[in-house]
Structure 1
Amino acid sequence: MNSKKFLGAVFLSTSASIWGGMFVVVKIVVEYIPPIELVWLRYLIALFFLTCFGLARKIKWRIARKDLFLVFLVGLIGNTISIVTQETGTWLSSAQLGAVITSATPTFMIIFAWLLLKERITLIKVVSIIMATAGVVMIVGIHVTGAQSVLGVLSLVVAALTWAIMSVLIKKIPRKYDPLQITIYTTLVAILCLTPFVLRNFSVFHNICFTDFRIAFSLLYLGLISTAFAFVMWNKGLQLMNASSSGLFFLLQPIVGTLLSWLVLNEGVSWGFFGGTALILSSVWLAIRFAD
């Protein structure tokens, strides 16, 4: 494995592990803050820290006019639509179901990478996806009951689809831009897109106790760790590996998410967790070992 692949794998694995914990945090805090308002607050916090990091690093801020629309699309599709539907789906279902449905992301990434980036669909990629998806199902199973869960599933499918499109579009952004710079601008796009919806229902903030430890900690985790830090890591990892193989790292989420769901939310863990974990890790190894 060359150093480029190794660093890409580290960045993507770190992001996915952080997002595995995010499912649990969202499940806790979304009981107090509605999904759209939660995403908006999350991005405000993230933008503050990202801007501070950017100023400290003295990054370049200018983006060429020809690249602005692509950056806008990444912010709209990934940072806005995908995250809102993901948190809505988790709210309407469960943290574990969120991990299962979003496991479709790597499959979508292979398809979009083939369509938009002309990356080859190889047998290794297909086998890896099948192994990883089987691993996710073994870990958390599939439990859908009631109309509310069905709506949750639909939201999570949209989240998986849009995240895959966003991850492929990032590969089309010239590598001359710092991942931190791209993350700042896409975060700003998300805030601007969500602000009109938040202002229409601004009274919801009057009922939120921001001094409550659970709410304060959850917002800090979502803003600083799972957005500011993890988004930069993911964007950097995507630059270092091909898009279709990168999606497999996304499936490390259910391993972390299931463990934390068991520890924090008292959601059950079956013996399938161990077999599923082995399948997911094996699929990731294949992706790293035989990446183009």
Structure 2
Amino acid sequence: MKKLRRFAPYFAGLIFSSIFGFSFLFTKEGLELMAPFHLLGFRFALAFLSLSILRIAGIIKIDLKSKNIKMLLLLALFQPGIYFVFETTGMIYTTSSEAGMMIALIPIAVTILAAFILKEKTTFKQSIFVLLSVFGAALIIFNRGSSGIEGNLFGLLLLGVAVIAAAFYNIISRKLSLEFSTIEITYVMMGFGAFVFNIIAIYELDFSLESYFSIISDRDALIAILYLGLLSSVVAFFMMNYTLSKINAAQAAVFANFTTVVSILAGVFLRGESFYKLQALGAFLIIIGVWGTNYFGRPIIRKETYNERI
């Protein structure tokens, strides 16, 4: 029994990283059937509804009284706001495997922005691995072969904006995590996304609720919505928190690399997406770069702090 408990955090890590990895595939599938804001609206509405049910049932606790709500809304503006707008739109012009590789750069962007905004010094070894990841991204961008997707480079640039937005989210969340629990932050994020994206989606559909809900009758669209809204936004979130509460941040960062691998394999083998040798080298450099940046970084948050928050 003790051995099972010992490996449980790593098993949970494999689950949430796999779910996140396949989310790119389901987003791509959903975008072939729905407009971007329609997909986002449904996804976040389902996630917010699920968390609200858990809140009413007393499984999770949310207490936002006398807290810095304005700063929390600013956080939600970056993610899910800006991040998901650019990630989802960018995936229209790219493959799911390319999206997974680009999004893997988020820890690198966090390290770079933290150096400028938070004045956090990077070690020499960290800098080497940051450069490795940047070089890997350049290989992916400039060695796409015949993608077959019009505007592919434009899509990669949109994903680049999503990466920067996610980096700002990570930096802001460091401060807010001292005042809000992880569940509270996620609950507000889901609510913000559900409100904003659904307003835009309904506006684009000329305020026709019949058109808005008609997509539910499409089995493939419903599967994509359920996967993204429940598995990716709720189940994976709880698995991730459990993992972070049991192992340190450097160990947990390895699972971000696994997410990238899953997204690439899902795109290549399930969607038949092209994957070129230099792109494979670029993906390898990004994964090694992310691992090295986290492994050689100075620990900012102790393992005990994660336990206290959760």
* TM-score above 0.5: yes
CA drift of 1:210 comes to 1.8
Amino acid across the alignment from 1:256: V
Find out whether 1:262 has 2:238 as its counterpart. Answer: no
Q: Deviations over 1:250-286 (max 9, x none)?
A: 4443311110112210113456687667655554554
Match of 2:174 among 171, 177, 180: 171
Contact 1:103–1:133 at 8 Å: present in 2 too? no
Aligned pairs, how many?
286
CA drift of 1:224 comes to 0.8
C-alpha spacing 1:114/1:139, structure 2 compared with 1 (3 Å): closer
TM-score (norm 2): 0.75
Find out whether 1:160 has 2:163 as its counterpart. Answer: yes
Amino acid across the alignment from 1:102: I
The alignment partner of 1:63 has SS state of coil
Contact 2:104–2:287 at 8 Å: present in 1 too? no
CA drift of 1:159 comes to 0.9
Amino acid across the alignment from 1:158: V
Q: Which moved more, 1:133-142 or 1:199-208?
A: 133-142
CA distance in 2 between partners of 1:80 and 1:232 (Å): 21
Q: Deviations over 1:118-153 (max 9, x none)?
A: 432112322333344556677897426776223322
Amino acid across the alignment from 2:200: F
TM-score (norm 1): 0.79
Contact 2:31–2:92 at 8 Å: present in 1 too? yes
Where does residue 3 of structure 1 map in the other structure?
Answer: none
Amino acid across the alignment from 2:47: A
Q: Which moved more, 1:201-210 or 1:40-49?
A: 201-210
Find out whether 1:222 has 2:228 as its counterpart. Answer: yes
The two structures, once aligned, show a CA RMSD in angstroms of 3.7
The alignment partner of 2:274 has SS state of coil
Contact 1:54–1:180 at 8 Å: present in 2 too? no
Contact 1:170–1:238 at 8 Å: present in 2 too? no
Where does residue 305 of structure 2 map in the other structure?
Answer: none
CA distance in 1 between partners of 2:215 and 2:196 (Å): 25
CA drift of 1:225 comes to 1.4
Contact 2:72–2:176 at 8 Å: present in 1 too? yes
The alignment partner of 2:64 has SS state of coil
CA distance in 2 between partners of 1:238 and 1:141 (Å): 35
CA distance in 2 between partners of 1:253 and 1:137 (Å): 20
Amino acid across the alignment from 1:195: N
CA drift of 1:57 comes to 4.4
Amino acid across the alignment from 2:225: L
Looking at CA atoms only, which structure, 1 or 2, has the larger radius of gyration?
2
CA distance in 1 between partners of 2:124 and 2:14 (Å): 23
Q: Deviations over 1:178-237 (max 9, x none)?
A: 312211111111222223312212349628442333212111110011112334556787
Amino acid across the alignment from 1:95: S
C-alpha spacing 1:147/1:264, structure 2 compared with 1 (3 Å): closer
CA distance in 2 between partners of 1:175 and 1:13 (Å): 27
Match runs of 1:120-135 below 5 Å: 120-133=121-134
Match of 2:211 among 203, 206, 212: 206
Contact 1:15–1:234 at 8 Å: present in 2 too? yes
Residue segments in structure 2 that go unaligned for 5+ positions in a row: 1-6, 300-310
Amino acid across the alignment from 1:120: K
C-alpha spacing 1:157/1:12, structure 2 compared with 1 (3 Å): farther
